[in-house]
């Protein structure tokens, strides 16, 4: 039996991770409820406050807020605001990505030819200049979103981390404002999606001063689905530096996220050093925490005996129960029957752990069950995750949620262990040789 099974929705809810079942966003330029906020603009826009209120055309550009949603294969970004879109005007938004795969803190010479070889205008011209990011941000990939023409969207892409090997860059394709995100006509092998809804007339005002953050309520703007494979990310954290810049790549606005805190447009990108600006001009999407359900691999029973079934019986809700019965011991009216179970997780970092046991008694009486997780840093220490709880003769699922620091529950090689204890807490009819039927005993783990 495979020890890792799919986590059920009930288990997610038991772990307090109901948001894990949030609906995947539709890429249409309107913020979905499943997004999580990353930042709100704190700088007025030096590139005009659009007041047209139309899906396509806009007469100003601003980045009011940024939100994310992610799954195992894609990262979705929603950026509330506008991109100016008038005849002959092509405003652009840069999404520089640090996905943990190489990259440069300062854009080097030799960047790949994209967008008519304009990306090099942001990089070192041979004199030691070039756009410099905050400390700790190494740009490995570039996604350029262009809005212009007849309400069209154009996407360019570059792998900056491969510059030393000649680099990779290409035109991804085009779409339209207010569309379903479809991008075609270029090289879109990873199925990137993008669109914009330019109807926002709220957000930050025009100017160069600080803003109290009234951009939080903006719910229309740029929406993009970036496949993880596009940016060489397998689920780890990703840093994104978004900002508005000119068609010629030679002038940068004051619209960054996180914001600049009250500054004028920054101008020539080759002379920009973001490490000298207060705060971080990037946002961080946390590592994707996926889930697994672990079935026990081994079992050790104390003060009891297994009379039917085995450890494999505890791996699924399949009407194949394991029966465990109490030894009859003189002078011990209420000893615990204890079973210790071992598991193995593939997760390196744990963000939630719960033990789920479905069980019932075979005799009417007064009984209690409790659950524990082994502290892998100590010998024979189990932390109680479910205190003694009454158990009857009908199947019930008991759940114990771990709290506090979870790292101690993962040992070498992903080793984990759980403990189930059952005892009688009052008189038992007949001989007192009672039994418990266990349908399953699983660990639900969320982590990365």
Segment 371-395 shows an average pLDDT of 97
**Burial level of 149, CB count in 10 A (0-12/13-18/19+)?**
middle
Give the pairing type, strands 367-374 and 382-390: antiparallel
Averaged pLDDT for residues 233-244: 95
Nearest to 443 by CA among 406, 420, 421, 416: 416
Q: Is the pLDDT of residue 9 over 60?
A: no
Tell me the average pLDDT of the chain.
Answer: 92
**Residue 18: is its pLDDT beyond 50?**
no
pLDDT in tens, 147-194: 987 789 999 999 998 888 778 999 999 999 999 999 999 999 999 999
Do residues 39 and 28 touch, judged by C-beta distance below 8 A?
Answer: no
Whether pLDDT at 401 is above 60: yes
Least confident of 22-26, 115-119, 384-388: 22-26
Question: What mean pLDDT comes out for the span 29-56?
Answer: 96
pLDDT of residue 12: 47
Residues in the chain: 448
Asked, as a colleague might, if the bond just before 252 is cis with ω within 30 of 0, I would say: no
Distance CA 162, CA 99 (A): 13
In this predicted structure, what is the pLDDT of residue 297? Answer: 98
- As a three-state string, the secondary structure of 370-415 is EEEEECCCCCCCEEEEEEEEECCCCCEEEEEECCCCCHHHCCHHHE
Q: In the predicted model, is pLDDT for residue 385 greater than 50?
A: yes
Split at pLDDT 50, 70, 90, the class of 20 is very low
Tell me if 102 sits within 8 A of 161, measured CB to CB: yes
pLDDT at residue 6, as a whole number: 41
d(CA 23, CA 32): 9
Q: With contact defined as beta carbons under 8 Å apart, do 33 and 219 qualify?
A: no
Helices and strands per DSSP (H, E), number in the chain: 1, 25
Cα separation, 250 vs 49, in Å, equals 21
pLDDT of 333 above 80: no
Q: Which residue has the higher pLDDT, 319 or 214?
A: 319
| Joined tokens for residue 107 | 């854009």
Per-residue confidence (pLDDT) for residue 245, from 0 to 100: 97
Position 426 confidence tier, pLDDT thresholds 50, 70, 90: confident
Assess whether pLDDT exceeds 80 at residue 5: no
Here the tokens at position 327 are 């030894």
Q: Which residues contact 254 (CB under 8 A, 6 or more apart)?
A: 43, 44, 45, 46, 47, 208, 260, 263, 264, 265, 266
Residue 1 pLDDT > 80, yes or no?
Answer: no
Taking only the tens place, the pLDDT of each residue in 94-150 is 999 999 988 999 999 999 999 999 999 999 999 999 999 999 999 999 999 999 877
Across 126-267, where does the E strand assignment appear? 141-148, 152-159, 168-176, 184-185, 193-196, 221-227, 238-245, 252-256
pLDDT at 231: 95
**Predicted confidence band at 329 (pLDDT cuts at 50, 70, 90)?**
low
- What sign for the dihedral angle of Cα 338, 371, 437, 308? negative
Does 269 score more than 50 pLDDT? yes
Candidate from 62-66, 244-248, 433-437 with smallest mean pLDDT? 433-437
Check if the beta carbon of residue 54 is closer than 8 Å to that of residue 87: no
**pLDDT for residue 390 is more than 80:** yes
Residue 160 to residue 168: CA distance in whole angstroms: 7
Per-residue tokens: 178: 């207010």
Higher pLDDT, 172 or 23: 172
pLDDT at 2 over 50: no
- C-alpha neighbours within 13 Å on the C-beta side of residue 188: 19
- The predicted pLDDT at position 166 comes to 78
């Amino acid at each position: 039996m495979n020890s890792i099974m799919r986590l059920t929705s009930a288990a997610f809810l038991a772990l307090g991770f109901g948001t894990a079942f949030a609906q995947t966003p539709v890429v249409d330029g309107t913020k979905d409820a499943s997004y999580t906020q990353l930042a709100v603009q704190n700088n007025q826009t030096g590139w005009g406050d659009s007041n047209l209120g139309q899906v396509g055309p806009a007469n100003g550009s601003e980045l009011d807020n940024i939100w994310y949603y992610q799954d195992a294969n894609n990262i979705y970004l929603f950026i509330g605001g506008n991109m100016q879109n008038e005849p002959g005007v092509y405003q652009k938004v840069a999404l520089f990505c640090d996905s943990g795969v190489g990259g440069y803190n300062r854009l080097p010479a030799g960047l790949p030819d994209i967008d008519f070889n304009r990306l090099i205008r942001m990089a070192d011209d041979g004199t030691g200049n070039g756009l410099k990011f905050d400390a700790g941000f190494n740009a490995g990939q570039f996604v350029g979103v262009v809005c212009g023409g007849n309400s069209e969207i154009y996407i360019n892409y570059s792998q900056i981390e491969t510059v030393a090997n000649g680099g990779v860059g290409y035109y991804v394709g085009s779409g339209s404002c207010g569309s379903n995100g479809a991008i075609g006509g270029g090289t879109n092998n990873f199925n990137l999606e993008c669109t914009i809804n330019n109807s926002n007339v709220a957000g930050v005002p025009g100017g160069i001063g600080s803003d109290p953050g009234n951009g939080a309520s903006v719910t229309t703007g740029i929406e993009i689905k970036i496949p993880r494979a596009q940016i060489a990310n397998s689920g780890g954290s990703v840093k994104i530096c978004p900002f508005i810049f000119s068609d010629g790549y030679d002038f940068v606005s004051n619209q960054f996220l996180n914001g600049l805190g009250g500054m004028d447009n920054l101008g020539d990108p080759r002379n920009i050093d973001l490490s000298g600006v207060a705060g971080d001009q990037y946002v961080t999407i946390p590592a994707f925490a996926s889930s697994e359900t672990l079935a026990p691999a081994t079992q050790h029973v104390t003060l009891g005996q297994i009379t039917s079934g085995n450890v494999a019986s505890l791996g699924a809700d399949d009407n194949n129960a394991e029966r465990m019965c109490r030894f009859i011991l003189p002078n011990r009216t209420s000893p615990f029957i204890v079973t210790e179970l071992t598991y193995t997780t593939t997760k390196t970092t744990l963000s939630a752990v719960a033990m789920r046991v479905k069980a019932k008694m075979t005799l009417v009486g007064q009984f209690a069950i409790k659950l524990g997780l082994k502290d892998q840093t100590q010998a024979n220490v189990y932390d109680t995750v479910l205190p003694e709880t009454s158990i009857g003769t009908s199947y019930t699922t008991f759940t114990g949620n771990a709290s506090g620091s979870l790292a101690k529950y993962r040992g070498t090689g992903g080793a984990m262990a759980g403990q189930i204890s059952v005892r009688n807490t009052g008189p038992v009819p007949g001989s007192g040789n009672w039994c418990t039927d266990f349908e399953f005993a699983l660990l639900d783990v969320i982590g990365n």
